[in-house]
Structure 1
Amino acid sequence: MLHQVVTHKILVSVRQDWARGQVAGAPPAQVGVIELDIVNNRVLPLLVNLAAGSVWTGFWAMIALGIQHIAQGTDHLLFLLVLLLPAPLLAARGRWGAFGGVRYSLKRLLLIVTAFTLGHSLTLLTGAAGWLRLPSQSVELLIAFSILISALHAVRPLFPGCEAGVAAGFGLVHGLAFAGTLANLHLDAGRMALSIFGFNLGIDLMQLFVVALTVLWRRLLSRASVYGPIRVLGGIFAGVAALAWMSERLWGQSNLLTDLVEQAATFAPWLLAALTIAALGSYFWERSKRPAPASR
């Protein structure tokens, strides 16, 4: 084959090297050149150094892959964040009502996040190990459907008090999507076990980081009257995005709405900053309206 190449050289690249931390999504790494010695008409040997890799490098790469996966997974984060929108509120007569208190709000938040984590961790393990498989199209459709359900619930309470169970149930579906990333790596049992742990740890770390960023403004705004419109608008946005994703995943063709959703996701940090500023402004405004304590 080298005789047919004009330069008599072939660049050799590695697409995946778990021990060196090169996994899914990383560009191929060039490891050397196979070259023909024209004078002596022989192929020069190619030496590849395999000593640089380690188990820890591969493990940390899987943590980073999990962080990257959830950071770029707009649908996964949208499901969880929209499900958390009404978490601080009490439900009464088919409507969302007043703020339930700090302890009530934090308890529900922890229950929902923990349930979602347990759900996706279970199917990530079983799916990556090859014990449970579903068609990817069905999984992606169910993920979009889960967002639609959480969006409707954000507008009107569909299952008040049962959010943790819903998070766990749909978490099972989201975990199957996570598992597809690891299954495609085709690792041996030992490396797969470490990869499942590292990948899941990365997902959970990024998930907790994003949720933590929303705690402040959700806690402050949920006491204010402006939280109602924010919650409804968030639910409507998520519902439209879910319907657009369902259409795209059902017919296999992208549409204008999904493109707009992906573009809108790039402005998420600015939206978070705006909500935080609005929350602080609302808090100090409400505080300034309180009557001053009577002086003795």
Structure 2
Amino acid sequence: MSEFQLYFQQGLYHVLDINAYDHVLFIVALTVPYVFKDWKNVLLLVTLFTIGHSMSLILAVYDIISVKSSLVEFLIPVTIFITAVYNIFRANKSGKKDNVNFLAFTTLFFGIIHGLGFSSYFKMLVANNSGDKLVPLMEFALGIEVAQVIIVLIVLLLSWAVQTFLRFTLRDWILVTCSFVAGVVVPMIIHNRIW
């Protein structure tokens, strides 16, 4: 297996791992207010999330930043909860009417938090790589981006199917999906070891 395949697959599986569903929940909550015609906005947000994720990995790999894992493990479900609740309160408005700058900044910041949750493992993964650590990071980020686009496509397809065949409104789809996501992460917040 080539190094590219190794790091690309690690990024892909980092997101699609059934045991690491927090990443999937965040992408679902981020995507749910949008429909296929809004694909540029969704792609922008997902890419900003990947950039934020990668920024924190760079900072951790080069020992520029170190954050207690218990704090990060608490903040990750909080970011998911905030995103879901934001969408619940904005459910009557389409994704186009949102302040793109606010969403872009928030998504980038949340990406930094999520990246910190994986930074220790990634640091260990590239520790044996005597060369440049940026190339493996870019390969890993590409895997993350591809996995996130897969999730986005699934969410958009589900949204289309639910709205077309079950006659849900976009508002109802957002309320049901984001309520489910929020319900999943509340126990993660309450039972976190930070308390």
Q: Residue type matched to 2:57 in 1?
A: L
Is 1:69 the equivalent of 2:10?
no
Q: 2:70 aligns with which of 137, 155, 159?
A: 137
- Kindly tell me: are residues 237 and 187 of structure 1, through their superposed partners in 2, closer, same or farther at Cα, counting changes over 3 Å? same
Give 1 or 2: higher helix fraction. Answer: 2
SS at match of 1:249: coil
Residue-by-residue CA offset, 1:66-118 (whole Å, 9 max, x unaligned): 11111112101211211221235xxxxxxxxxxxxx64x22321221122122
Is 1:84 the equivalent of 2:31?
yes
SS at match of 2:78: helix
Contact 1:82 1:235 in 2 (8 A): yes
* TM-aligned CA deviation for residue 191 of structure 1: 5.8
TM-score, scaled relative to structure 1:
0.55
Q: Residue type matched to 2:25 in 1?
A: L
- Kindly tell me: are residues 251 and 137 of structure 1, through their superposed partners in 2, closer, same or farther at Cα, counting changes over 3 Å? closer
Is 1:183 the equivalent of 2:123?
yes
**Larger relative contact order, structure 1 or 2 (CA cutoff 8 Å, min sep 6):** 2
Matches within 5 A, 1:1-296: 57-72=2-17, 73-88=20-35, 103=37, 105-157=38-90, 160-161=98-99, 162-185=102-125, 186-190=127-131, 192-219=133-160, 225-250=168-193
* TM-aligned CA deviation for residue 127 of structure 1: 1.6
Give 1 or 2: higher strand fraction. Answer: 1
* TM-aligned CA deviation for residue 192 of structure 1: 3.3
Unaligned runs of 5+ in 1: 1-20, 22-56, 89-101, 253-296
Q: Residue type matched to 2:116 in 1?
A: L
Structure 2 distance, partners of 1:125, 1:189, is 16
* TM-aligned CA deviation for residue 147 of structure 1: 0.6
Contact 1:83 1:163 in 2 (8 A): no
Contact 2:9 2:143 in 1 (8 A): yes
Aligned residue pair count: 183
For the aligned residue pairs, the C-alpha RMSD in angstroms reads 2.5
Residue-by-residue CA offset, 1:40-61 (whole Å, 9 max, x unaligned): xxxxxxxxxxxxxxxxx23311
Q: Residue type matched to 1:134 in 2?
A: V
Q: Residue type matched to 2:143 in 1?
A: G
Structure 1 distance, partners of 2:15, 2:6, is 14
Identical pairs, percent: 25
Unaligned runs of 5+ in 2: 92-96
Greater Rg by CA: 1
Structure 2 distance, partners of 1:238, 1:184, is 31
TM-score, scaled relative to structure 2:
0.81
Contact 1:128 1:196 in 2 (8 A): no
Structure 2 distance, partners of 1:213, 1:79, is 14
